[in-house]
């Protein structure tokens, strides 16, 4: 099958390369130039954007040579997740037949029902709150990080430990840059938490439990500023169907076959993130236990 205008590749994609460089410049400005309160907020925004750019790199952008892409984006500005592990778990997530599976999908927000029933009631209450927008923004980074670190610790695969050994000097390097800047390290930790919190808005509803794999990925049609920070992953079913298509091409691809994508995902659709916030700010969107999963 020949390449079309959405999948044709060039030697490099200047919009992605420019945005990566602009992200690092913005991060540096937050550390060295901006007043502390503004710097913390702007730094958090840049950290969230950097994570979105890491996702873009995982899918082969902006260069044809993947090691060049990864060298460009590998600094762990968020501190908590090794890029190598993010890459491995995200690519595993892209097997659509396992999306939302509480065991086989590394990015699933669901638990198996038997695990859920064994949890103490206070933990169940916390996790139900985490399934609201307010909960996901406030405590979601803590729960997500704790879950990820626990899973990593329990896994005895030597490649995972190697990834973490590489991550340590990378975190030290980022920490060195931060401590050399006017921003106190405690303030940077707040910014990193803010960056994680912003990303939790994206992952809050990217996927839902559905019998059909094609019905599990969302469309948030008007992404607004969040759509930019998430690099158009609000059009998530389009990304899952065309994972090699660059972020800046996704809106045109969606518009060209809107009805097709909405049929494909069974109408799992929201008009905007404002719509999502109004509907789920204090109301859980999903149960914590996967409603359809069977061992």
The set of long-range contacts for 7-14, using a CB threshold of 8 Å and a minimum separation of 24, is 7/242, 7/244, 7/245, 9/64, 11/63, 11/64, 12/62, 12/63, 12/64, 13/61, 13/62, 13/63, 13/246, 14/62
The model's pTM: 0.93
Percentage of the chain surpassing pLDDT 70?
Answer: 96
Is 186 inside any structural domain? yes
Is 273 inside any structural domain? no
pLDDT at 293: 78
Structure tokens at 7: 């999948």
- Work out the pLDDT band at 157, boundaries 50, 70, 90: confident
- Work out the pLDDT band at 54, boundaries 50, 70, 90: very high
Q: DSSP 3-state assignment of 49?
A: helix
The domain tally of the chain equals 1
pLDDT at 12: 76
Is 4 inside any structural domain? no
Q: What residue numbers bound the domain in which 68 lies?
A: 14-201
Nearest to 187 by CA among 64, 20, 32, 21: 32
pLDDT at 5: 52
pLDDT digits (tens, 9 = 90+) for 134-152: 999 999 999 999 999 998 9
Is 220 inside any structural domain? no
Distances (CA, A) of 63 to 4, 56, 237, 246: 18, 11, 24, 11
- Work out the pLDDT band at 1, boundaries 50, 70, 90: very low
Answer whether 77's CB lies under 8 Å from 174's CB. Answer: yes
Is 124 inside any structural domain? yes
Is 101 inside any structural domain? yes
pLDDT digits (tens, 9 = 90+) for 180-206: 999 999 999 999 999 999 999 999 999
Is 278 inside any structural domain? no
Is 253 inside any structural domain? no
Query: Residue 71: what are its φ and ψ, rounded to 5°?
Result: -65, -35
Task: Quickly list DSSP for 10-46.
Answer: -SB-HHHHHHHHHHHHHHHHHHHTS-HHHHHHHHHHH
pLDDT at 2: 39
Nearest to 204 by CA among 114, 109, 289: 109
- Work out the pLDDT band at 7, boundaries 50, 70, 90: very low
pLDDT at 8: 46
H helix intervals, the chain: 14-32, 36-58, 66-73, 83-93, 113-118, 121-130, 133-138, 140-154, 158-180, 185-204, 224-229, 236-241, 250-256, 258-264, 273-280
Mean pLDDT value across the chain: 94
pLDDT digits (tens, 9 = 90+) for 57-70: 999 999 999 999 99
């Amino acid at each position: 099958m020949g390449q079309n205008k959405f999948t044709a590749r060039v030697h490099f994609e200047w919009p992605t390369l420019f945005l990566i460089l602009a992200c690092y410049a913005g991060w540096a400005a937050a550390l060295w130039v901006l007043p502390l309160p503004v710097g913390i907020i702007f730094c958090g925004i840049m950290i969230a954007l950097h994570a979105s750019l890491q996702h873009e790199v995982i899918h082969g952008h902006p260069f044809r040579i993947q090691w060049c892409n990864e060298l460009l984006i590998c600094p762990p500005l968020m501190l908590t997740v090794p890029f190598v592990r993010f890459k491995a778990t995200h690519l595993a997530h892209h097997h659509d037949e396992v999306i939302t599976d509480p065991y086989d999908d590394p990015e699933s927000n669901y638990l198996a029902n038997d695990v859920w029933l064994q949890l103490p009631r206070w933990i169940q209450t916390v996790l139900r709150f985490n399934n609201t927008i307010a909960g996901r923004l406030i405590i979601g980074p803590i729960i997500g990080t704790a879950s990820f670190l626990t899973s990593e610790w329990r896994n005895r695969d030597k490649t995972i430990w190697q990834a973490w050994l590489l991550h340590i000097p990378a975190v030290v390097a980022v920490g060195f840059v931060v401590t050399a800047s006017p921003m106190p390290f405690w303030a940077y930790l707040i910014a990193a938490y803010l960056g994680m919190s912003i990303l939790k808005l994206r992952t809050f509803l990217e996927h839902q439990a559905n019998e059909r794999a094609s019905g599990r990925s969302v469309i948030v049609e008007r992404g607004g500023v969040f759509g930019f920070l998430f690099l158009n992953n609000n059009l998530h079913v389009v990304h899952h169907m065309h994972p090699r298509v660059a972020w800046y091409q996704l809106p045109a691809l969606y518009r060209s076959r809107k009805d097709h994508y909405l049929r494909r995902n069974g109408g799992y659709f929201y008009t905007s993130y404002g719509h999502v916030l109004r509907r789920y700010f204090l109301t859980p969107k999903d149960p914590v236990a996967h409603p359809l999963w069977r061992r």
